[in-house]
Copies of this chain bind each other. A is one copy, B any other.
Amino acid sequence: MKITKPTLLLDKSKCLNNIKIMAEKATKNNLLLRPHFKTHQSIEIGKWFSDFGINSITVASVSMAEYFAQHGWKDITIAFPFNKLEIDEINELASSIELNLLILSVESINFLKKNLKHKVGIFIKIDAGYHRTGILPENIDILDEILTGILNFDLIEFKGFLTHSGHTYTAGSIDKITAIHNDCLHKMQKLKLHYFKTFPNLIVSIGDTPSCSLMDNFDGIDEIRPGNFVFYDLMQNQFGSCAIDQIALCVACPIVAKYKERNKIIVYGGVVHFSKEYILNEEGERLFGLIIELGNKGWSSPLEGMYVSSLSQEHGIIKAPDEHFEKFKVGDVIGILPVHACLTANLMGSYLTFANEVIDHMP
């Protein structure tokens, strides 16, 4: 493995283990795992999911649905608000696969009734507390209006209610994540009870990786859609969603300069490789990555006290305590665990495994 510039390394065994744990958790709790493929955006990694019996997936855009449909995936939910401007692409997709759309309003249903050419499934997006998008679960009038609107309309099948508790990302503690999750379960269960008689097959779907990783109670839930768990990252580790050694991605970066007077090591690897996402450490300092030592088959635990303290477009600036500063020299390649794996993978464009395989990422 010859690394000369920033390279996204994938520890395949960690990745497979992450998939296995989530797949087993889903089976144990009688949940359909419909993983969100926006994290890896990879045909090859998609195959690893197939090996665990997964046939149904979630994506973040019509373009991503097209990519995976072209590569054999037949059951796709686009977990992004229905965008009427992409109706042609949606009709095209719906002609060949089982496609589920996310509906947020009566207007979208009226538009679909006029413009759909092939059958689609719909999930109604419920706002269970995140307040980004969705219909509040107490707005039964609007839900009824949507559901009445599609009665006797053959091209739309009501699949169920879908929510995303994105506010677990800013909760700050496992207790608070638990509270958000329980509140979400409560609201979704209530909705299910209300509509269960009319729609006995309705699916309740939740999504966020912190809840799916940390929680054990999924009463009333039928489907989970986590994405990030396939790699995990420092943000998820800070939430408690994963152990640090479950993180399956790092960026290998060449060292290009060292400054003893300020204990800084400069690497080739910047915002265009990592994104500008950061977490705060206990001292309130921004941390854009943790440093690991690379071996032939994997990497070490993070080196204590060493972290990426800032990023320019192509440079990474690493703060290194004395004991680690001396260990590295210009021309060495070090590894950096990313703060947000989805964004890093999106920027890097492909993966390299320790078996020297190049793994695709959607262009």
Chain copies in the assembled complex = 2
Nearest-neighbor residue (CB-CB) of A130 within chain B: B312
How far apart sit A4 and B82, CA to CA, in the bound complex (Å)? 12
Contact with B along A328-344 (1 / 0, CB 8 A): 00110100000000110
| Structural contact, A81 and B257, CB atoms closer than 8 A | yes
In the complex, which of the residues B4, B60, B82, B86 contacts A85, with contact meaning CB atoms closer than 8 Å? B4
- Interface residue from B5, B107, B276, B313 paired with A83 (Cβ < 8 Å): B5
Shortest beta-carbon distance from A124 to chain B in Å:
13
In whole angstroms, what is the CA distance A5 to B363 when docked? Answer: 16
CB of A166 within 8 A of CB of B312, answer yes
CA distance in complex: A320, B333 (Å): 47
Q: Does A1 contact B (CB under 8 A)?
A: no
- A8: interface (CB < 8 Å): no
Q: Complex: how many Å from CA A38 to CA B314?
A: 10
What's the minimum C-beta distance from A32 to chain B, rounded to whole angstroms? 23
Cβ–Cβ < 8 Å partners of A312 in chain B = 132, 166
The answer to whether A297 has its CB under 8 Å from any CB of chain B is no
Q: B256 and A315: CB pair below 8 A?
A: no
Interface membership of A356, Cβ < 8 A: no
Verify if A348 is at the interface (C-beta below 8 Å from B).
no
Q: Which residues of B contact A343 (CB under 8 A)?
A: 271-272, 276, 313
Nearest chain B residue, comparing its CB with the CB of A107? B330
Size bin of chain A's contact surface: 35 or more
Is the pair A83, B256 in contact by a Cβ cutoff of 8 Å? Answer: yes
Whether, in the assembled complex, A84 has its beta carbon less than 8 Å from a beta carbon of chain B, the answer is yes
**Whole-angstrom distance between the Cβ of A266 and the nearest chain B Cβ:** 5
Q: Is the CB of B166 within 8 A of A105?
A: no
Query: A160 at the A/B interface (Cβ < 8 Å)?
Result: no
A131 at the interface (CB under 8 A from B): yes
Let me know if A275 is at the binding interface, CB within 8 A. yes
Residues of chain B lying within 8 A (CB to CB) of residue A275: 271, 275-276
Q: Closest chain B residue to A86 by CB distance? A: B4
Expressed in whole angstroms, the minimum distance between the Cβ of A272 and any Cβ of chain B is 5
Q: Please determine whether A331 and B84 come into contact, CB atoms closer than 8 angstroms.
A: yes
Instruction: Tell whether, in the assembled complex, residue B4 and residue A131 are in contact, meaning their CB atoms are under 8 Å apart.
Output: no
Which of A61, A83, A131, A315 is the most central at the interface, judged by chain B CB atoms within 10 Å of its CB? A83
Interface pair B60/A257, CB less than 8 Å apart: no
Asked whether, in the complex, the Cβ of B330 is within 8 Å of the Cβ of A342, the reply is: no
- A62 located at the interface, meaning its Cβ lies under 8 Å from any Cβ of chain B in the complex: yes
Instruction: Say whether A317 faces chain B, with CB atoms less than 8 Å apart.
Output: yes
What would be 26 A-B contacts, judged by CB atoms less than 8 Å apart? A4-B85, A4-B86, A4-B88, A5-B62, A38-B313, A38-B314, A60-B313, A60-B314, A61-B314, A80-B314, A81-B266, A83-B268, A84-B330, A85-B331, A104-B256, A104-B257, A105-B330, A108-B330, A132-B317, A133-B257, A133-B266, A133-B315, A166-B312, A271-B275, A275-B276, A276-B276
**9 extra interface residue pairs, beta carbon distance < 8 Å, beyond A4-B86, A60-B313, A272-B346:** A4-B83, A5-B62, A5-B85, A61-B268, A80-B314, A81-B266, A84-B330, A133-B257, A313-B343
